[in-house]
Amino acid sequence: MDEPSSRNSSLQRKKPPWLKLDIPTIQLTPDDTPAPNQPVRRLRSVSMPGENPQTCIAALETSNNYLRPPAERLPSITQSIKRGTADWFGVSKDSDSTQRWRRKSLQHCSHLYGGLKTQVMREMELHSQDNLSLASTETPPPLYLPPLHPSHHHYGMQRGRTLGESTAGRRRRRSFMPPSFFEDDTADFPDDLDTSFFTREGLQDELSSYADEVFETPSEAALKQLDESELTGSALDRNELERSHLMMPLERGWRKAKAGSAVQPKVRLKQEVVSVNSHQQRGQRIVVPVKKLFAREKRPYGLGIVGRLTNRSYRKRIDSYVKRQIEDMDDHRPFFTYWITCVHLLITILAVTIYGIAPIGFSQHETVDSVLRNKGVYENVKFVQQQNFWVGPSSEALIHLGAKFSPCMRQDEEIHKLIQEKRALERESGCCVRNDRSGCLQTLQEECSSTLAVWVKWPQHPSAPSLNSKLRQHGAVCHQDPRICLEPASVSPHEWPDDITSWPVCTRFNSGNHTNLPHIDCTITGRPCCIGTKGRCEITSREYCDFMHGYFHEEATLCSQVACMDDVCGLLPFLNPEVPDQFSRLWLSLFLHAGILHCLVSVLFQMTVLRDIEKLAGWLRISIIYMLSGITGNLASAIFLPYRAEVGPAGSQFGILACLFVELFQSWQILERPWRAFAKLLAISVFFFSFGLLPWIDNFAHICGFVSGFFLSFAFLPYISFGRSDMYRKRVQICVFLLIFLGLFSALAVLFYIYPVKCDWCEYLTCIPITDKFCEKYDLNAHLL
């Protein structure tokens, strides 16, 4: 019985009905006879019935050509040395033709299947192919990609290379397989090559597993046929993934799981699809983080963005009751975060556009110029302004916009005392009329020259009017007299009092040209000007007032007739001009920022930490914590730092930071290594508190905002319970911490409005004087040189 025919018949019985085996006959020379101890290797040429049979025939012919040995004899030793030397120096004709054939093959492969990676091309340029074997079990992990276009017909791949390319390398090295290589293909090594490897369906899945290791870009046909909707880079559907991409490990290699098999995959089903489209990959570094930022994924309790940054994780064993509570927690959209962020950006843009940008820096900015002042001569005046390193408006502009500033929220004792002293001096003032008729100015007697001017003072001057049959004791006032004012007129019973600081502003005068009164007929050269953030009033020229960035009152003649604190504070006027009442600054300042950089820091914090917490707690709870923490922090800052203009949601942000601590404490029992998580979070908080030692940053708002946010978080943040007793304990805890917060807020309100305190050393808790003027008072001052 013929041995080859028996083996062929055995092979025909074992092959599938659709499988056609083409076993070429090779005539071997005596030199090519394999040694007895040489390992047996096999290769089979397989064709599959398909729509285009010519493709299969071409594949078989190509395979036979690669396997057909040359008819020439072995070269001699001299020829081998010459050929090896030529190959070494790259001048061999065979080497040139081989390189040309390889370049054409790479171009053809790149056109059909996509560009090869640099690493793969480097490996293909090596002369040794000993590391390749059909029985290799090393395969890269599968990567799920969209299936390739069905028009692509591949004849086989071995570790990312085609079967024809692998055999071509052996042909060049004259390492031909013995005839037994083609016989009994399934008898000895049934798992070396799976039949699905050569099928059209199997090739698509196998190539998808090698694509990331071999091919760098997709083929041109795939780029034309793949729809952009399939290349979004998002996670695959779980059912579709299990149906079409579930891979199960075999003894060697990978293959698709059979229909109905219940084998669980060893890869995560949450693996993302890598986009194959090259033009979409250009923007993936930006698009993917943005998509993750706005992704609607549920926020895990106890972890969140800070937990991911600090490598926080759950314990391996968690009670089912606790698990159920975590799974049942609601997932919220961060509407409040988006709203407050848009408001912050809009207000900052408007503030910078309208009020401009102050000098940038950490110290004070000085401007010196010659200005016409009260005496009618030019004087060198220095204007001192605090710099703003946040790149934003000046301190007085921020106060005008609604910054936290105690003198605008209550009647400050120090400022009220300064105003009363100014009025007492003004009560004893008179009108200084120059002899050359160049003008007149309301001054004290020591400020008026006795040789160059006349100081008109009642009752010594003969122009003094009478009141209730007595001469007035106070006056005169430049350009104002009760005898010539028509509105409001000084008539009984509404006569103007003797105290000139109580006189009203005269809005209409007698139209006469000459009154024979020196303080009325002169040209007034100075009117009230409100300068600085403490409402300092001076009667001076308009030029000097503009240079000092003050508020010039053209209609008034005395400082007692203007409310400088109303000008400084802005917003709505006080109900009583003597008593500031803008307590709304406690929450209005939460929407303002000291500059562009300050706003960017707030936006970064809110779009990360605040957004993450709001997804857990919801917009209502987080807005309550945010606003109340900010108000409490601003109230504490107004008590201990009353004369510093502060803006920004610093107290609110540290109240949100306290929420992270409360969440950590509430989930302490389900976290892995909670002490380590606490230490990392504490280090981050200390780092943030250290920024409060810089100027224009309030540490009192940070501290009190953090404390109030800590109490409010226990009352408003959702929690998980670890039993009935723990649930009752946390309910009592909610009431206790609410009462503590109310007590804290009430105590601060009493200290602010009823029993104000003055703490000189408290400023060192919020600003360390690195230089002499690093923590200077933020007030505008003028100094004569």
Q: What is the 3-state secondary structure (H, E, C) of 527-562?
A: EEEEECCCCEEEEECHHHHHHCCCEECCCCCCHHHC
Q: Is the dihedral of CA 21, 22, 27, 33 positive or negative?
A: negative
58 domain-assigned: no
- What whole-number distance in Å separates Cα of residue 67 and Cα of residue 63? 6
H/E element holding 281? Answer: helix 278-281
239 domain-assigned: no
Amino acid at 101: W
Q: What is the pLDDT of residues 535-570, one digit of tens each?
A: 899 999 999 999 999 999 999 999 999 999 999 998
β-partners of residue 524 are 440
The mean pLDDT value for 623-648 works out to 93
pTM: 0.63
β-partners of residue 517 are none
511 domain-assigned: yes
Of the given ranges (18-27, 253-262, 578-587, 618-627), which has the lowest mean pLDDT? 253-262
For residues 658 and 710, is the Cβ–Cβ distance under 8 A? yes
- What whole-number distance in Å separates Cα of residue 629 and Cα of residue 659? 11
The mean pLDDT value for 351-362 works out to 92
783 domain-assigned: no
Q: What is the pLDDT of residues 434-457, one digit of tens each?
A: 998 888 999 999 989 888 899 999
- What whole-number distance in Å separates Cα of residue 417 and Cα of residue 414? 5
Between these two residues, 571 and 18, which has the higher pLDDT value? 571
Which whole-number Å values give the CA distances from 648 to 116, 596, 652, in the listed order? 54, 12, 9
Amino acid at 752: F
State the pLDDT at residue 588.
Answer: 95
For residues 555 and 507, is the Cβ–Cβ distance under 8 A? yes
For residues 564 and 416, is the Cβ–Cβ distance under 8 A? no
Local confidence band at 361 (pLDDT 50, 70, 90 cut-offs): confident
Highest-confidence segment of 27-36, 701-710, 752-761: 701-710
Domain span including residue 546: 413-564
Of the given ranges (76-80, 287-291, 660-664, 712-716), which has the lowest mean pLDDT? 287-291
The mean pLDDT value for 137-142 works out to 42
**Domain count within the chain:** 1
The rounded mean pLDDT for the chain is 74
User: What DSSP string runs through 439-501?
Assistant: -EEEE-GGGS-TTTEEEE-TTTSTT--EETTEE-SS--BTTB-TTTEEETT-BTTBPPPS-GG
Amino acid at 428: E
Output b/e per residue, 521-538; b: 16+ Cβ within 10 A: ebebbbbbbbbbbbbbbb
The CA-to-CA distance between both ends of the chain, in Å, stands at: 126
- What whole-number distance in Å separates Cα of residue 552 and Cα of residue 562? 10
Q: What is the pLDDT of residues 103-115, one digit of tens each?
A: 777 777 776 666 6
419 domain-assigned: yes
Could you tell me which of 711, 691, 716 has the C-alpha nearest to residue 768?
691
418 domain-assigned: yes
Could you tell me which of 565, 387, 560, 366 has the C-alpha nearest to residue 551?
565
Phi, psi of 453 (to 5 degrees): -150, 170
The mean pLDDT value for 94-107 works out to 67
Q: Tokens representing 534?
A: 């403490």
Q: Answer whether residue 648 shows pLDDT above 70.
A: yes
Highest-confidence segment of 61-70, 254-263, 481-490: 481-490
452 domain-assigned: yes
